[in-house]
Amino acid sequence: MAMNKNTVLGWATFIMILVGIALILMGAYRYNDVAGWGFASVGIGFLANAWVFNALKGRV
């Protein structure tokens, strides 16, 4: 199976969604202080980047 640019962007989007959800869950359940807000905000940033990667599929 050849990996073209759309396949690479698809895998990058999938991995970034997993990492973003993991960071949000860590911020919600693991850290109950100010660090939890930081983890959750970085997780939201990962989801925003994954959204951009998904929008780029087929256009690059």
Q: What is the pLDDT of residues 6-55, one digit of tens each?
A: 888 889 899 999 999 999 999 988 888 888 899 899 999 999 999 998 88
Question: Could you tell me the pTM of the whole model?
Answer: 0.83
pLDDT for the residue numbered 3: 84
Map tokens 């999938």 to a residue.
14
Alpha carbons 28 and 41: distance in angstroms, whole number: 11
**So where are the chain's domains?**
5-56
- Spatial CA neighbour of 46 closest among 26, 21, 29, 25: 21
Cα-flanking dihedrals φ and ψ of residue 31, to 5°? Answer: -110, 120
Half-sphere exposure of 42 (CA within 13 A, CB side): 13
Token pair for residue 13? 């989007």
